Structure 1
Amino acid sequence: MKTLHVDLAERSYPIYIGECLSHESLILETLSHQEIVIVTNETVAPLYLDVIKRPLVNAGKKVAQVILPDGEKYKTLDTVNKIFDVLLAENFSRHVALVALGGGVIGDMTGFAAAAYQRGVDFVQIPTTLLSQVDSSVGGKTGVNHPLGKNMIGAFKQPLAVLIDPSTLKTLPEKEFSAGFAEVIKHGVIQSAEYFEFLEQNLSTIFNLDLTVLAEVIAGSCEIKRKVIEQDETEQNIRAILNLGHTFGHAIETTMGYGNWLHGQAVAAGVIMAADLSARLGRIDSALVQRIVALTQASGLPVNCPSEMTPDSFLAAMYRDKKVQSGTLRLVLINSLGSAEVTDQFDSALLGETLEHFCQQAKAS
C-alpha cells in the first residue's frame, strides 16, 4: 500500500494506492461514520458494490445505496437529485458520509451532492477507472454539466480520503482505459519530463495492465496533481495548468454532445491542438509536438478533432470556458516538456490557424 498526503490544512487527506478493496480494516477506518450512502452506477455496482457495502453493514452501520445510470450524458442536476432523494427519504443526517464508487462522473456528482446536502457532509472517493484514479478523484473539483458548458455548475469539495485499487482496471474496457491515459500524458507534458519519458519507455507494459507498473503510473500522476493543488486549491492561478487541452476538449464534448466523445478522447485531441498552437507561437519545436502525437497515437487516442467541428463552433464553445476572464480567452500553452502556463498572451490569428488546420485535417481524413 502506497500512501500520499494532500496537504490542505484542515482539508488535508490521504490517497491510498494498493489493494484497497480487499482491505476491510482500511474501509472501516476511513468510513468511521454510522451513516453511509454509497453512490455508484449500473456498470460498477455488480462488480464492487457488495465488496464495499458488506463490511460496513457487518459493522452495524446504516448503509444505503444509490445506483445511477452510467454515462457522461447523465452528469446533470436531475441525476444528482436522485442522490438527494435517497438522503431525504431515508432521513440521513448531516453526519452521513457519501461514498463515490465509480469513475469521474460518479465522483463529480457524489462530491457535488456532498457539498450541497445540509450545506456540506463528508465524502470518500473510491475511483474505479484510470481517468478517475489519476485525475478527477484528487483535488476536490465536483459538479455537473450544462448543455451550454461542461462542468460549469459545481463546487470545490475535498474528500476525506481517496482509495485507489489498480486491480479495478482489469475490468475496464480498453477504450475507457485509453481515454484515461490522456490525463496521464497531460501530467507529464505540464509538470515532468521524466514522467513523460517513463510513459514512453513503459507503454506496452502499462497497456498490458501490469499492476506494479500501473501503481507507479497512478502514484506519479497523483503526486504531480497533489503538488499543484497544494499551491492553488481553488484554481486562482497555477492549478489551471491541469487544464492543458481541456478548453479545446470541452468544446468538442459540448458541441458533439456529452458522451459521444469520451472526456479523455476529447482531452487527447485538445492536448495535440494546444501543442500545435504552442509550436506556432514559437514556444516549443515541432519535434516535441511529434513526441506528444506519437505517444498519444500509440495509446489508441485521437490526435484530431471530429470532422463535424468548425473553427466557429470551437470558438463559440471555447469562450464559455471557465478560464475566460472579462471576455478574454485564456489557454494553457506549453513552454517545454514538463512546463506549461495559463496565458491570454497569444496571437488570435495563430489560434485561428490551429483551428482551421485541425478542422480541415479532420474532414480530409
Structure 2
Amino acid sequence: MSSKTNRQILFVKRPEGLPDDRTFQMTEAPVPVPEQGEVLVRTVYLSVDPYMRGRMNDTKSYVPPFPLNEVIVGGVVGQVEDSKHPDFHPGDLVTGMMGWQDYSVVKGEELRRVDPSRVPPSTALGVLGMPGLTAYFGLLDIGTPKKGETVVVSGAAGAVGTVVGQIAKLKGCRVVGIAGSEEKVRFLKSELGFDAVINYKNQDVKQALKEACPDGVDIYFDNVGGEISDHVIARINDFARIVICGQIALYNLEKPDLAPRIEPLLLMKRVKMQGFIVSDYQNRYQEGLTHLSEWVAEGKIKYRENIVEGLENTPEAFLGLFRGENLGKQLVKVSEIQT
C-alpha cells in the first residue's frame, strides 16, 4: 500500500448559509495501515446526506459537529483491502461510517458485511441502509398507518420519501407526494404508484393539497419543513400523526425562520407530532432490513439512485441535495469493485 496515496476531502470552514468551495479542501495522505482488530477498506461508494449540513454548524445536536481540518465522515460501501480482524477478509464488501477518502481504517465491529448476490451493493447506503430504515421506522412506528388513511410525504422523490410512499401503499393508504420537478412527479406516479403528486415549483401547494386530500391528512411525513409543511399541517385531521424526519428547507438559513404557531391546531385536533433519529432504533435494524430486503426482492419496493462519479466531485454532489438535483439516493462512486 505504501506506493499508493489516499485522497481525502477535509472540512476546513464552517459555512454561513449554503456551503461552497471554501467549505472543503482536497488533500493527499499516506494509505493507513490497520492494527489488530482493524480493517483497511477501499471506498467504492460514499453517501451524501442532508443531515451532514447540520454537523457543519458548531452547535449542540444529536451528533457532534464535524471537527475542522479533518476528513468528513459518512456512510460508505467499500471493499476490504487488508484485514487484521478474523471476521473480514480481502475482497469482502462492507458498509459502515467512514471518511470522504479513498481508504479508511475501521474497527471490525463497526462494519457490516454487504451481500451483492441479490441486489447491488450500493443499496446498502439507500433503500437497504440508513434512508430505508429511516422510512421504515418513522412511518410504521410513529406514523402507524392504517388502511384507507391519507399519507402526505414531502421530499417525496428523495431516498427516504420514495420508500415512505411505497410502504404506505403496501399498508393500503392513499399516498400524496410533494416534489420539485415534472420528472419526479412522473416517476412517483407512474413507477412508484403514488395516488397524487404535487410539484411545489409550479403549483399552488395550498390549493393542490385541497384537491389531492379532500378528506384531509391523517399522516404527514415531513422531510422539508418550511412553508410546504405549513400548508400540509393546516389540513391535518383529528388524531393525525406528524413525523418530523428532516427540515432541508431550513438547514441553510442564516436567521431563524418565522412560521405559524401551530400548537392550538395540534391541541384542538389532538395531533401527535414527533421528531426522531434513525439511530433511536439501532437495536431493531435487523427487523427493518429483513422486511425491506424482502420487499425489494419481491419488487414491492422500487428504488432509484443518482450516482456522481469521482471522489473529487463529492462536495458538488452534496450541494446538489439542496438544489433538488437528486431523484432517489444521491451517491458518489469512487472506485470499482475488484473481483
User: What TM-score do you get using the length of structure 2 for normalisation?
Assistant: 0.28
User: What TM-score do you get using the length of structure 1 for normalisation?
Assistant: 0.26
Higher relative contact order (CA 8 A, sep 6+): 2
